[in-house]
Structure 1
Amino acid sequence: MPSSAGPSIDTITEGGRVTQVGEGQEAEESAPPVMTFGAPTAGEILAERYELVEHINNDSAGRLVWRGVDVVLRRPVAVVLRYPGGDSATEMLQAAVAASRVIHPNLVGVYDAIDEDDRAYVVREWVDGHSLRELVAGGPLDPARATAVGNAVASALAAVHATGMVHGNVHPGTVMISDDGRVVLADARTDGADSQDSDVRAVGGVLYFALTGHWPHAEVPLHGATAGHGRASIPDAVRDAAGLLAAPRQVRAGVPAYLDDLTMDLLDPAVAPPPSDVLAAELARLDVPADDHYLDSPGPLRFAADTDEEPSPLAAAGGRKVAIGIAGLLAVALVGLLIGISALGDDKSPDTNPVAAPSSNAPADGGEATPAAAAVRKLAVQDVRIVDPDSKVRDELGGADKVVDGDPDKSWGTHTYTTADFGKRKKGMGVWLDLGAPHNIKTVQVNLSARGTSAVLYAGSTTHPATSNGDKQLLADYQRTQIGQPFEGSQTGTTMNFDGFQPDQKYQYLLVWITQLPSNDRGYQIDVEEITVQGS
């Protein structure tokens, strides 16, 4: 039986499977219950679109969680209802609107947010799987799996933080692991009580919980301070005789020293937390298949340094010891292994604000220094044109330069079609980019005018004439090299971020290929506002 993207305290069991749904925003233990007079019934259709199929439970904030179906797109959804709507639902709706602006494979998609005054509801992605809390109830995770979970959560936070927003609700109840292994973070909140630093420290809490089965509650002293938000339903953290938080290695055997160190550093208020993208890069460096036996290697995972050692990029956050040689390794990791992080809506120039830069590339043995990897930056596009292989008229080719001019108010757009698949007259249309020379690429960000677009990113090594036949040859050649996963029209948001580039390869030619258009009041059409390529 499927479950929505987020767990709850209450469960329903059917056929041996346990369904946990949407713990969502935390509620204080003293919070009054939410009134639910006039609660919906199975079969009711909300907003003439969302059919309620089964009431799963009420989450910790008193909201009703239903499994539903979008009768227009014929897909399962989770519907979270709050009674009444209006002012009491403002925070829930604001959080949903903010979350809908960020697309990332480790974030639960938010589809809709509606206030009907007497009730309000949020429609979001339905995820088949279990919460981290449910998984760990059967025993702590092995270090490799805990690292993978931490990497996914940090990557999701980096995407959120790149927009200037805060998630504010990271804990084992909002971390979901789907049946196909995807890790997703759900239920952001916008009450202003949290910061990006507290989000990052919460990753330490997630790692601690995954490794030990305990959550470092706010009530637990940690080097003389508190350690984060309380989760009364999760077992209290383990403490030593002095009342301080016990390290994961003190709780269970088999935790590598460097993973233990990182977890404790993230929870220690005396150690400044690194930015979420830097943390994600370091966890990505270690997020490798368990059969590769990476845990047998003493590779460092600390984000601090002694004064007599060369610091790594993580050392800029302050704190403790880092093993010699981390700077050169992490420099490569920051370029090659950072996955899914994007600067959505950030008004800072990527040219002057790289994700991270190595502070040293000195070898431990005093030998020849390893060249440091170049900082990630916005790459200049030397040429751009529209690829339209199935058009005889070819009257949609003008204005391609507007997608790389740095001005989102200027855009290139398709004509308006009668169906989402270009009136079935063509396979699609695309924007071709020439970077002028081969580059290592981290991500390609595509800003669109509306939700509901389907697109895929291809790469190629050849050019073709700007004719119908040339476009057909170009598409056929480039389709052999797909970058990352395609974005489907069912996914929310107006920004697409393509990663999946090979760190040891360089790319010069790219093709953003659009296969499905979103609808508007006239038909089906999309404007491409800006395409940004980041790399080195």
Structure 2
Amino acid sequence: MTQVGEGHETAADEAGPVLTFGAPTVGEILAERYQLEQHVNNDSAGRQVWRGIDVVLRRPVAVVLRHPGGDSAAEMLQAAVAASRVLHPNLVGVYDAIDEEQRAYVVREWVEGESLRDLIAAEGPLDPARAIAIAHSVADALTAVHATGMVHGNVHPGTTLIGDDGRVVLADARADEADSVEADVRAVGGVLYFALTGHWPHTEVGRSALPDATRDSAGNPAAPRQIRAGVPAYLDDLTMDLLDRRVAAPAAEALTAELGRLDAAAEDEEFEDVGPLRFVQSGGTATEPARSAPKILLGVGALVIIAIVGLVFGIQAINRSGKPDASSTSTVGANAGAQPGADDPSDAPQGNPVKIPLTADMVRIVDAPGGQRKDTGEAKYTVDGDPDTAWEMSWYGSANFGGLKDGMGVLIKLPEARALSDVRVVTSAPGAAIDIRTGKSDPGDSTQGDKKILKEYTKLSDSDSDANTGDHQTLTGFDPNQKYQYVLVFVTKLPKNDDTPGYQVDVNEIELYGY
């Protein structure tokens, strides 16, 4: 069970001061009422989160403490007082807010369960129906908050709690002048995106404890359907519309209505019959997101073009009737030129991708021509499940391996071809450019074999080191209708390493996901 306090999803060890003077202890009773039972964790601002007992009402509570109190705790206490006035089944109840000058604390409802962040870390991305249900609950909670004129300001997977009884609650409002109703609504899109993909799409969180979304050269996150199979198109559109600031954000109540409609459709397993997105605004009229009108026009235009082309080909077919056609037995499929092992599109994988177990005998180092192959044998450290071990590269005088070679990588050789989803790479520092490449065979663990791999393998993804601000990267590009057996994770650019004379990075973990 993990409870979180106020604050965004930044890593706790990079946060502000941790409570030291006047630090609480197990068994201590605060305000002659709240007995501290267990220190759960520290949130991103250095506040301590405790599980406690209200000795008067004999109920479990969560206690969030910060040091010092006084003026520095005013924002936290004001947000707690405001939140206490909103009663809703999808909002964590706030019971008390106390300032002792040396320290201040907020007492709130204890939710027996786990955060969405921890749920995804343990189980991976959720199925669309469950993701919709969670986002629906969060939007419903925000509708209640916004109806009072308040802003929550702290909606993310760490403050979205999933109770053991299935209840979804939003915790720890933290609004300040920079927060807005629109930001709350777009954060629901972030929660939905995270539930579907396991990645956080909002860049304003900064160096986040959550895995960053896969992004294009402009910094835009890849759509959920590009990351995993089985995400319905209407849900993909809704998620990306909420994240796209060019598309007007709906009111929380309109988003709740739409998610409620989708939630009901998911319960009845009628995904294909939900129809177009429709945000019902407070005026009672149905409207489409700002981007829907161009989509409809584009669709109508496409139908007109198809009709014209069909008419032309129909006339030609009539004119050719009775004449032998030498090419009538030729077939050009969607998989023309595909890698051997590709399946028919009807066999595309369904469901959530799973982590594929990798062992030391399934990986090896590939060194581009010009390399000395000194790292042979270190690939095993990237798949041993231990983040403290790593393939430690040598350092170079420039980011492009000192101009000596194109790069280095780890070749994964699966026992048999299978459908793949993505590759997840953990490095010792941000800024490394990494791509994935696939081929038909391993020509051998030798200089000539490596040279042949780099010549013949097909690159599926590109990575710009300037855009890689995190040390966790997710690489996509696999065709869901194909199966792959040989995958090369290839580093093409190194980050500056302040601990060495030049450019260097360690590859700590490589994980492969598929179906």
Give the deviation of 1:303 after TM superposition: 4.7
**CA separation of 1:289/1:74 partners in 2, compared to 1, >3 Å: closer, same or farther?**
farther
SS at match of 1:288: helix
Amino acid at match of 1:211: L
Render the CA deviation track for 1:430-475: whole Å, top value 9, x for unaligned: xxxxxxxxxxxxxxxxxxxxxxxxxxxxxxxxxxxxxxxxxxxxxx
Aligned to 2:118: 134
Give the deviation of 1:244 after TM superposition: 2.9
SS at match of 2:247: coil
Q: How does 1:300-319 map to 2 (within 5 A)?
A: 300-301=276-277, 303=279, 313-315=286-288, 318-319=290-291
Amino acid at match of 1:300: P
Are residues 1:26 and 2:2 paired? no
Q: How does 1:448-527 map to 2 (within 5 A)?
A: none
Which of the pair is proportionally richer in helix? 2
Aligned to 2:434: none
Contact 2:66 2:104 in 1 (8 A): yes
Are residues 1:214 and 2:199 paired? yes
Render the CA deviation track for 1:174-198: whole Å, top value 9, x for unaligned: 0001001000000101321110001
Aligned to 1:411: none
Give the deviation of 1:243 after TM superposition: 4.5
Separation of aligned partners in 1, 2:150 and 2:160: 18
Are residues 1:74 and 2:46 paired? no
SS at match of 1:194: coil
Amino acid at match of 1:318: A
Separation of aligned partners in 2, 1:263 and 1:205: 8
Contact 2:10 2:206 in 1 (8 A): no
SS at match of 2:259: helix
Structure 1 counterpart of 2:241, from 258, 262, 265: 265
Contact 1:262 1:303 in 2 (8 A): no
Give the deviation of 1:290 after TM superposition: 4.7
Contact 2:22 2:103 in 1 (8 A): no
Aligned to 2:403: none
Select the structure of larger CA radius of gyration.
Answer: 2
Amino acid at match of 1:34: V
Separation of aligned partners in 2, 1:298 and 1:171: 27
Give the deviation of 1:32 after TM superposition: 3.3
Cα RMSD of the aligned pairs, angstroms, is 2.3
Aligned to 2:128: 143
Amino acid at match of 2:7: Q
Structure 1 counterpart of 2:224, from 248, 254, 264: 248
Aligned to 1:98: 82
Amino acid at match of 1:167: H
Separation of aligned partners in 1, 2:59 and 2:255: 35
SS at match of 1:287: helix
Are residues 1:195 and 2:180 paired? yes
Amino acid at match of 1:269: R
Render the CA deviation track for 1:335-368: whole Å, top value 9, x for unaligned: xxxxxxxxxxxxxxxxxxxxxxxxxxxxxxxxxx
Q: Gaps spanning 5+ residues in structure 2: where?
A: 297-515
Contact 1:303 1:322 in 2 (8 A): no
Amino acid at match of 2:187: A
Give the deviation of 1:107 after TM superposition: 0.2
Are residues 1:176 and 2:158 paired? no
Aligned to 2:20: 36
Contact 2:15 2:44 in 1 (8 A): no
Structure 2 counterpart of 1:237, from 178, 194, 213: 213
Structure 2 counterpart of 1:205, from 180, 184, 190: 190
Render the CA deviation track for 1:51-84: whole Å, top value 9, x for unaligned: 1111112111111111111111110001111111
Q: Percent identity between the aligned chains?
A: 70
Render the CA deviation track for 1:23-63: whole Å, top value 9, x for unaligned: 42238676532342121111111111111111112111111
**CA separation of 1:260/1:321 partners in 2, compared to 1, >3 Å: closer, same or farther?**
farther
Amino acid at match of 1:248: P
Contact 2:234 2:276 in 1 (8 A): yes
Are residues 1:64 and 2:48 paired? yes
**CA separation of 1:99/1:157 partners in 2, compared to 1, >3 Å: closer, same or farther?**
same
Aligned to 1:277: 253
Q: How does 1:326-345 map to 2 (within 5 A)?
A: none
Separation of aligned partners in 2, 1:110 and 1:37: 26
Q: Gaps spanning 5+ residues in structure 1: where?
A: 1-18, 219-227, 305-310, 325-536
SS at match of 1:108: coil
Amino acid at match of 1:261: D
